[in-house]
């Protein structure tokens, strides 16, 4: 039976709106499930997404999608990594920018999008967006996630915070990972072999 509705376990409004637009193209409605997870930060973002999806599917007894996203500074191995919000809360923009002084400013966002049905093993798709970290903070009055103010995507001249929503969504690591996942779910519904 075709899946017409999935639960997206997230408390983040920005994520929910972005991913809802992706799934609507496949005729799948998302419902937000604000479930708190205890994330094992010793795992990769793929491991965290898979574990949280399995936990949420068992809790809700419904098919669930979950994502985990990190930002990785090439000069600092696995940092901020799978804990971008914690790192930002602890040291803010000053600390982030200071950490890169005299080092390469290359960085990338990576999203792991996981899908799980109750009693099944999760399926995970990933995508990344490469770019560089700026030397200063931009668009402090704009409603966005913190790293968008200091990240310039490859091929662009201005930080993500200034990109038009449709442009940002077109290059988004999260959108691309969830497009792979939505296609997978859609093909599963049709009984096609993946």
Q: Which residues are catalytic?
A: 68
Q: Judge contact between 45 and 111, C-beta under 8 A.
A: yes
Nearest CA-CA partner of 132 in 161, 104, 105: 105
Q: Using CB atoms within 10 A of its CB, is residue 35 exposed (0-12), middle (13-18) or buried (19+)?
A: middle
Peptide bond into 106 cis (omega under 30): no
Nearest CA-CA partner of 55 in 46, 41, 45, 65: 65
């Amino acid at each position: 039976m075709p899946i017409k509705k999935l639960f997206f376990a997230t408390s983040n409004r920005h994520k929910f709106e972005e991913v809802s637009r992706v799934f609507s193209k496949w005729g799948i409605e998302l419902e937000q499930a604000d479930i708190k997870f205890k994330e094992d930060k010793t795992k990769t973002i793929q491991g965290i997404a898979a574990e949280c999806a399995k936990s949420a599917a068992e809790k809700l007894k419904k098919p669930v999608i979950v994502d985990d996203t990190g930002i990785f500074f090439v000069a600092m191995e696995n940092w901020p990594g799978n804990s971008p919000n914690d790192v930002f809360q602890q040291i803010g923009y000053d600390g982030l920018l200071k950490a890169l002084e005299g080092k390469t400013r290359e960085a990338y966002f990576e999203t792991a999008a996981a899908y799980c049905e109750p009693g099944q093993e999760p399926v995970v798709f990933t995508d990344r967006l490469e770019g560089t970290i700026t030397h200063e903070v931009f668009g402090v009055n704009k409603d966005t996630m913190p790293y968008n103010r200091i990240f310039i995507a490859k091929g662009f001249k201005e930080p993500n915070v200034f990109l038009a929503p449709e442009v940002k969504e077109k290059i988004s690591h999260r959108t691309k990972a969830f497009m792979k996942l939505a296609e997978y779910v859609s093909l599963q519904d049709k009984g096609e072999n993946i």
